[in-house]
Structure 1
């Protein structure tokens, strides 16, 4: 979420044959990963939209199941080259497992796929990335701090509610993990620029080496531009960013508008405290990435704020995220979600963290309110 460039002219071929072989050492390969688990007690309202449905009052979460494979080395000319691959092991959704498994016959089928796979070159000029990965807007974004191991209120790994009708993120997700090309400038006086282009949005890295993706089959031509700052002023650590993303939503059924995303983020750190937040807005999008017709008038506003304190192996904090999805002119309704998180963690050593996660979520639409509260013990292991 590798490509080889081949010279096709005799001149290029002759030049390659005549060039002396470089004596660079092989790229160094490292393998790691992470797993986040949790056991929760949940108090959730019954759902009465289409018949009454009640939900589990205990939950075992198993998320962020990734194997990370990285290869990197410094060439004789000083360039740093590498490959980054993130292998995702199954997911938390039974229906999704059934749909994505090879046999597509059982909701309990196992599967593993590369969620991200890209190559990069880095030097004094900056850094180029080519392949399936997050774009500049995503990678350069700051938001409310995470203090529970492996889970936060912004883009949570664990969210204890059955309704996922609104987004829970201030990150740009329009072209996340899709095949793209990105460029990041060197950092000057704390500032850095980043740009990404995604020709065709897919849900995971796709092999396009032998075929061309058809037009009018989804979101295409996604451009991203981002700027961030990382530095220290006096005794305060500052991280800030702004981004803009736009694409074209073309489908067989006709024009699906021009989805756009804007975002701002800020982190302030002082003497163990981190105060952070972010603001996000989109139009012609529903949820995380689906493009919709411009005439529908859909827009989304999401913001978050949080405070973390860290000392030694301990972290504690509180954070809030608020989302409003307007359904525009087609259905004159707003979908709203309010999410609180309180908790903390303790580092046992060697990438092993344990923590307490308290969540409170309220979902609103028309005259319907849904509330869910939970408390859980989280164990996160990185290796």
Structure 2
């Protein structure tokens, strides 16, 4: 099945990439309009007060109670429609802060009546077609939150997740095809050679200019006892429609990667191919939105090592105001006692200008772990603003 998907995607890519030249020669004497990029992006800033267990050995020990959280990106984006109807576009997202990966997502796309083809560093079809839960602030309780404010949730990779969706391939280089929408349905499929973004080639010569200048990428993860996954295939499908005053959306996603190995080190015996899936739905009526979802991830491990989560959200909007609440229950199987997390968020937002929101929320986290450093209840109080441009 994977070979069929890869072959079909490659044929579409070859056909589409050849179309721009055909389009330019289709109108003799007329110069085609070049692709020009404009600016976009966002800036987010929050003040956060968090009360965490702070005894000796507890995850809040030695942590500040108040902090300022921010996230910003500048986007270079644009598209042009050629004479034959083909749209060619590009988007490059620059992190507006110093970080290890200065460029976030960067991709080229081709779109027409046949669908859309995306080439480059972008999330998978399963991720992009998933229906997000109703949320007053998706930066904290959306499909893939921007912020993690509770220390007991991060670090080891063995804890229950606060996200609504597993993003196996992330922003790795990939090819993605989206079908046209038909009667409310849309399907997408992605393929990524591995789960790394373009960067220095760790399997051979390393060049400061990145992997594109360092030869072919290594087929094994070097110098690590952790596994790596390759040939990652993701499939997503969603259905959106309106029935009079009622809006309805449902989606499903599946993503699978083959274990590629651990480089010079022997892989632990419990490592395996990795797969994850999720299903989500929401309905809207008269300003209300109600929805929820469920996902599972085997974490690429044999035996009882599965992660899963379920939950839901409810919002009500009138004019520039939206209020709501969400609940998430996540679990990670462990030897002995499973690791569990519950999150309740209640809040609201006010739109004070185009693309400008004032947001506030109260958040409760209940962590239940066999380790003291991952156990206990926490509260957070958040006030901030988001500006899109």
The unaligned stretches of length 5 or more in structure 2 are: 1-13, 15-21, 201-209, 222-227
Closer, same or farther in 2 for the Cα pair 1:161/1:78, shift >3 Å?
same
Aligned partners of 2:142 and 2:164 also within 8 Å? no
- In structure 2, relative to structure 1, the CA distance for the partners of 1:213 and 1:49 (3 Å cut) is same
Indicate which of 375, 380, 385 corresponds to 1:374. Answer: 380
Q: State the partner residue of 2:330.
A: 323
Deviation at 1:269, TM superposition (A): 0.7
Q: CA deviation at 1:324?
A: 0.2
Taking a change above 3 Å as real, the CA distance of residues 48 and 281 of structure 1, as seen in their structure-2 partners, is farther
Aligned partner of 1:59 in structure 2 is 67
Task: Give the match's secondary structure for 1:246.
Answer: strand
The structure with the greater share of residues assigned to helix is 2
Secondary structure of residue in 2 paired with 1:46:
coil
Question: In 2 relative to 1, CA 204–148 (structure 1 residues): closer, same or farther, beyond 3 Å?
Answer: farther
The answer on 1:234 being equivalent to 2:249 is no
Q: How many residues align?
A: 340
Deviation at residue 352 of structure 1 after TM alignment: 1.6
**1:190 match:** 184
Per-residue deviation at 1:194?
0.4
The answer as to whether partners of 2:141 and 2:163 remain within 8 angstroms in 1 is: no
Unpaired segments of 5 or more residues in structure 1? 1-6, 8-14, 92-96, 101-111, 286-290
TM-score w.r.t. structure 2 length? 0.81
Could you tell me how far 1:325 is from its partner in structure 2? 0.6
Aligned partners of 1:193, 1:16: CA distance in 2, in Å?
Answer: 27
CA contact (8 A) 1:149 1:344 kept: no
CA RMSD of aligned residues (A): 2.6
Contact persistence 2:23–2:84 (CA under 8 A): no
Whether the 8 Å contact between 1:154 and 1:321 is mirrored in structure 2 is no
Q: State the distance in 2 between where 1:151 and 1:361 align.
A: 12
Residue 182 to residue 53, structure 1, CA distance change in 2 (3 Å):
same
Shift of 1:378: 1.1
The answer (yes or no) to whether the contact 2:121–2:197 under 8 Å persists in 1 is: no
Pair 1:149–1:319, CA change in 2 (3 A): closer
Per the normalisation by structure 1, the TM-score is 0.82
TM-aligned CA deviation for residue 21 of structure 1:
7.5
Counting only pairs closer than 5 Å after superposition, residues 269-308 of structure 1 correspond to structure 2 as 269-283=284-298, 285=299, 291=300, 293-294=301-302, 296-308=303-315
Q: Distance in 1 between matches of 2:165 and 2:297?
A: 11
Greater share of strand: 1
